[in-house]
Amino acid sequence: MKPLILVLCTGNSCRSHLAEGLLRSALGDAFEVASAGSNPAGYVHPLAIRAMEEVGIDLSGHRSKHLDEFLDREVETVITVCGNADQACPVFPGQLNRHHWPFEDPAHATGTEEEQFAVFRRVRDEIAKVFGAYAAGRLDGAR
Protein backbone atom coordinates (compact mmCIF):
# COMPACT_ATOMS: atom_id res chain seq x y z
CA MET A 1 0.00 0.00 0.00
CA LYS A 2 1.35 3.43 -0.97
CA PRO A 3 1.86 6.05 1.77
CA LEU A 4 -0.98 8.60 1.77
CA ILE A 5 -0.08 12.30 1.83
CA LEU A 6 -3.09 14.49 2.69
CA VAL A 7 -3.04 18.22 1.90
CA LEU A 8 -5.48 20.25 3.99
CA CYS A 9 -6.90 23.76 3.85
CA THR A 10 -10.14 25.26 5.05
CA GLY A 11 -12.29 25.32 1.90
CA ASN A 12 -10.56 22.68 -0.24
CA SER A 13 -11.29 24.80 -3.31
CA CYS A 14 -7.91 26.29 -4.30
CA ARG A 15 -4.62 25.91 -2.42
CA SER A 16 -4.98 22.28 -1.39
CA HIS A 17 -6.01 21.27 -4.93
CA LEU A 18 -3.09 23.19 -6.45
CA ALA A 19 -0.74 21.43 -4.02
CA GLU A 20 -2.37 18.03 -4.56
CA GLY A 21 -2.05 18.27 -8.34
CA LEU A 22 1.53 19.50 -8.24
CA LEU A 23 2.61 16.94 -5.65
CA ARG A 24 0.90 14.05 -7.44
CA SER A 25 2.61 15.08 -10.67
CA ALA A 26 6.02 15.35 -9.00
CA LEU A 27 5.79 12.09 -7.03
CA GLY A 28 4.31 9.89 -9.73
CA ASP A 29 3.05 6.51 -8.53
CA ALA A 30 5.28 6.26 -5.44
CA PHE A 31 2.70 7.88 -3.13
CA GLU A 32 -1.05 8.45 -2.92
CA VAL A 33 -1.86 12.17 -2.70
CA ALA A 34 -5.24 13.63 -1.74
CA SER A 35 -6.66 16.90 -0.44
CA ALA A 36 -9.51 17.89 1.85
CA GLY A 37 -10.82 20.78 3.91
CA SER A 38 -12.04 21.48 7.41
CA ASN A 39 -14.99 23.44 5.96
CA PRO A 40 -15.23 22.44 2.27
CA ALA A 41 -16.52 25.01 -0.19
CA GLY A 42 -18.26 22.33 -2.24
CA TYR A 43 -16.43 23.13 -5.49
CA VAL A 44 -12.98 23.48 -7.00
CA HIS A 45 -12.40 27.09 -8.04
CA PRO A 46 -12.48 27.47 -11.84
CA LEU A 47 -9.40 29.70 -11.79
CA ALA A 48 -7.47 26.99 -9.91
CA ILE A 49 -8.43 24.52 -12.63
CA ARG A 50 -7.37 27.04 -15.30
CA ALA A 51 -4.04 27.80 -13.58
CA MET A 52 -3.18 24.12 -13.44
CA GLU A 53 -4.17 23.57 -17.09
CA GLU A 54 -1.36 26.02 -17.95
CA VAL A 55 1.19 23.61 -16.44
CA GLY A 56 -0.39 20.48 -17.92
CA ILE A 57 -2.21 19.24 -14.81
CA ASP A 58 -5.93 18.47 -15.01
CA LEU A 59 -7.97 19.26 -11.88
CA SER A 60 -11.35 19.07 -13.64
CA GLY A 61 -12.13 15.72 -12.01
CA HIS A 62 -11.31 16.93 -8.48
CA ARG A 63 -14.02 17.57 -5.90
CA SER A 64 -14.13 19.46 -2.63
CA LYS A 65 -13.99 16.97 0.28
CA HIS A 66 -14.23 17.13 4.08
CA LEU A 67 -11.24 15.91 6.07
CA ASP A 68 -13.59 13.49 7.89
CA GLU A 69 -13.50 11.31 4.74
CA PHE A 70 -9.95 10.38 5.73
CA LEU A 71 -10.35 9.77 9.47
CA ASP A 72 -10.51 6.00 8.99
CA ARG A 73 -7.55 5.93 6.57
CA GLU A 74 -3.88 5.52 7.38
CA VAL A 75 -2.54 8.96 6.55
CA GLU A 76 1.27 8.93 6.60
CA THR A 77 1.76 12.70 6.16
CA VAL A 78 -0.53 15.70 6.68
CA ILE A 79 0.41 19.03 5.12
CA THR A 80 -1.68 22.08 5.97
CA VAL A 81 -1.56 25.06 3.61
CA CYS A 82 -3.53 27.57 5.69
CA GLY A 83 -3.67 28.58 9.34
CA ASN A 84 -7.29 27.59 9.94
CA ALA A 85 -6.73 24.03 8.72
CA ASP A 86 -3.58 23.77 10.84
CA GLN A 87 -5.59 24.64 13.95
CA ALA A 88 -8.51 22.33 13.06
CA CYS A 89 -6.37 19.38 11.96
CA PRO A 90 -6.99 16.14 13.84
CA VAL A 91 -4.42 13.38 14.22
CA PHE A 92 -5.02 10.66 11.64
CA PRO A 93 -4.44 6.92 12.11
CA GLY A 94 -0.89 6.01 11.14
CA GLN A 95 0.19 9.65 10.87
CA LEU A 96 3.97 9.93 11.05
CA ASN A 97 4.60 13.42 9.67
CA ARG A 98 2.97 16.83 9.81
CA HIS A 99 4.01 19.98 7.99
CA HIS A 100 2.48 23.45 7.91
CA TRP A 101 3.28 25.57 4.85
CA PRO A 102 0.77 28.45 4.63
CA PHE A 103 0.00 30.23 1.35
CA GLU A 104 -2.18 33.20 0.47
CA ASP A 105 -5.73 32.21 -0.50
CA PRO A 106 -6.17 33.18 -4.16
CA ALA A 107 -9.95 32.84 -3.81
CA HIS A 108 -9.87 36.20 -1.99
CA ALA A 109 -8.18 38.01 -4.89
CA THR A 110 -10.00 41.08 -6.17
CA GLY A 111 -10.04 43.00 -9.44
CA THR A 112 -10.78 41.83 -12.94
CA GLU A 113 -10.79 38.13 -13.74
CA GLU A 114 -7.32 38.47 -15.27
CA GLU A 115 -6.03 40.26 -12.14
CA GLN A 116 -7.50 37.49 -9.99
CA PHE A 117 -5.99 34.87 -12.31
CA ALA A 118 -2.56 36.48 -11.87
CA VAL A 119 -2.87 35.80 -8.13
CA PHE A 120 -3.79 32.15 -8.81
CA ARG A 121 -0.72 31.82 -11.04
CA ARG A 122 1.56 33.38 -8.43
CA VAL A 123 0.23 31.16 -5.62
CA ARG A 124 0.48 28.10 -7.91
CA ASP A 125 4.12 28.92 -8.58
CA GLU A 126 4.86 29.48 -4.88
CA ILE A 127 3.26 26.13 -4.04
CA ALA A 128 5.19 24.47 -6.88
CA LYS A 129 8.53 25.61 -5.39
CA VAL A 130 7.79 24.35 -1.88
CA PHE A 131 6.06 21.12 -2.88
CA GLY A 132 8.57 20.42 -5.64
CA ALA A 133 11.41 20.54 -3.10
CA TYR A 134 9.40 18.36 -0.72
CA ALA A 135 8.69 15.81 -3.48
CA ALA A 136 12.37 15.67 -4.46
CA GLY A 137 13.29 14.95 -0.86
CA ARG A 138 10.64 12.24 -0.52
CA LEU A 139 11.75 10.55 -3.73
CA ASP A 140 15.41 10.68 -2.65
CA GLY A 141 14.47 9.19 0.71
CA ALA A 142 12.49 6.38 -0.93
CA ARG A 143 15.53 5.24 -2.96
Active-site positions read 9, 82, 89
- Cβ pair 9, 85 in contact under 8 A: yes
- Cβ pair 18, 124 in contact under 8 A: yes
CA dihedral 103, 107, 113, 116 (to 10 degrees): -20
